[in-house]
């Protein structure tokens, strides 16, 4: 795809995201629980139902998945839960100033096993900087995968990252089976905490 068409599509998607944010976010200041790559929304719907006082947003690149997730949300009649079709980096770029992420879940992200595709993996050092920029001090990141080489790579990245610290206890505060978790005979979990706050305000 020619660069100018790609840029135009991205600009349009980001404008649409800004309008979505205006519709779904209350006054800035309420922390968000974010799930990146939420798929059909099983985990976050259960989470939001169990935590009605928390504002939850799930994002996924694939429209058919966020549509299914929205139907699940509506059946459960949850007003504290939203699903948006968008890319994680665009989400972080367009999230209004003053909106701070609290807990962040990334469950079974695409593993991109071939070496030449590793650059497509979601969790990389620069992505953790972008995530950290929108996270408050003490925000937690929960990551789970059944692909051990990806898990080891992320663990190493987080272990030396200046803005995130591995937590000794990788127990998740909430559990609910996702589609990919149900298919995984074995999986690995990691919990990390934001070391200092650079969340934008204003
Ligand atoms: C392997 S699926 C896992 C879905 C769900 N978390 C589960 O455990 O069943 C990974 C999901 O991440 C989404 N995804 C991949 N890259 C993404 C990105 N950059 N931003 C948002 N979602 C993304 C994909 O569309 C896909 O639905």
Sequential DSSP letters for 42-107 = HHHHHHHHH-TTSEEEEEES-HHHHHHHHHHHHHHT-SSEEEEE--HHHHHHHSPTT--EEEEEEE
Buried b (16+ CB within 10 A) or exposed e, 101-124: bbbbbbbbbebeeeeeeeeebbbe
Coil/strand/helix, residue 165: strand
- Binned at pLDDT 50, 70 and 90, residue 196 comes out as confident
What is residue 198's predicted lDDT score, i.e. its pLDDT?
Answer: 57
Please tell me if the CB atom of residue 139 comes closer than 6 angstroms to any atom of ligand 1: no
Q: Identify whether 200 is part of a domain.
A: no
Within-domain flag for 184: yes
122 lines ligand 1 (CB under 6 A): yes
* Ligand 1 neighbour 59 (Cβ under 6 A): yes
At residue 202 the predicted structure's pLDDT band, cuts being 50, 70 and 90, is very low
Percent of the chain with pLDDT over 90: 84
Average pLDDT over residues 3-14: 90
Do the domain assignments include residue 202?
A: no
Contact predicate 116/133, CB 8 Å: no
Average pLDDT in the 140-160 region? 97
**Is residue 88 situated within a structural domain?**
yes
Q: What's the CA gap between 4 and 110, in Å, rounded?
A: 27
Residue among 59, 108, 109, 123 whose CB has most ligand 1 atoms within 8 A, to mutate: 109
Length of the chain: 202
Flag whether 199 is in a domain. Answer: no
The per-residue pLDDT for 201 is: 41
Residue 179: pLDDT above 80? Answer: yes
Residue range of the domain that includes 79: 3-194
pLDDT digits (tens, 9 = 90+) for 160-173: 999 999 999 999 99
Whether the Cβ atoms of residue 138 and residue 188 lie closer than 8 Å to each other: no
Residue 29, in any domain of the structure: yes
CA distance 132 to 125: 10
Is 148 a domain residue?
yes
Is residue 77, in this structure, part of any structural domain at all?
yes
Alpha-carbon radius of gyration of the chain: 16
Report the percentage of the chain scoring pLDDT > 70. 96
The predicted model scores a pTM of 0.95
Residue 134 near residue 33 (C-beta atoms within 8 A): no
Average pLDDT over residues 143-164: 96
55-81 residue pLDDT tens: 999 999 999 999 999 999 999 999 999
Q: Into how many domains does the chain fold?
A: 1
Give the CATH number for residue 149.
Answer: 3.40.50.150
CA 19 and chain centroid, separation: 19
């Amino acid at each position: 795809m020619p660069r100018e068409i790609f840029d135009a599509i991205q600009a349009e998607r980001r404008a649409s995201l800004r309008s979505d944010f205006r519709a779904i976010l209350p006054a800035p200041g309420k922390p968000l629980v974010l799930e990146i790559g939420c798929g059909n929304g099983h985990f976050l719907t259960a989470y939001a139902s169990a935590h009605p006082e928390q504002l939850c947003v799930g994002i996924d690149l694939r429209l058919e998945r966020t549509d299914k997730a929205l139907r699940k949300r509506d059946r459960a009649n949850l007003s504290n839960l939203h699903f948006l079709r968008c890319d994680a980096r665009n989400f972080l770029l367009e999230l209004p100033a003053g909106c701070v992420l609290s807990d962040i879940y990334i469950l079974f992200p695409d593993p991109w096993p071939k070496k030449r595709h590793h650059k497509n993996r979601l969790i990389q050092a620069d992505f953790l900087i972008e995530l950290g920029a929108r996270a408050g001090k003490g925000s937690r990141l929960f990551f789970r995968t059944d692909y051990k080489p990806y898990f080891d790579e992320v663990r190493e990245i987080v272990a030396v990252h200046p803005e995130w610290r591995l937590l000794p206890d990788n127990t998740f505060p909430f559990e609910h089976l996702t589609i990919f978790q149900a298919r995984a005979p074995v999986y690995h979990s990691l919990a990390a905490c934001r070391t200092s706050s650079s969340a934008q305000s204003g």
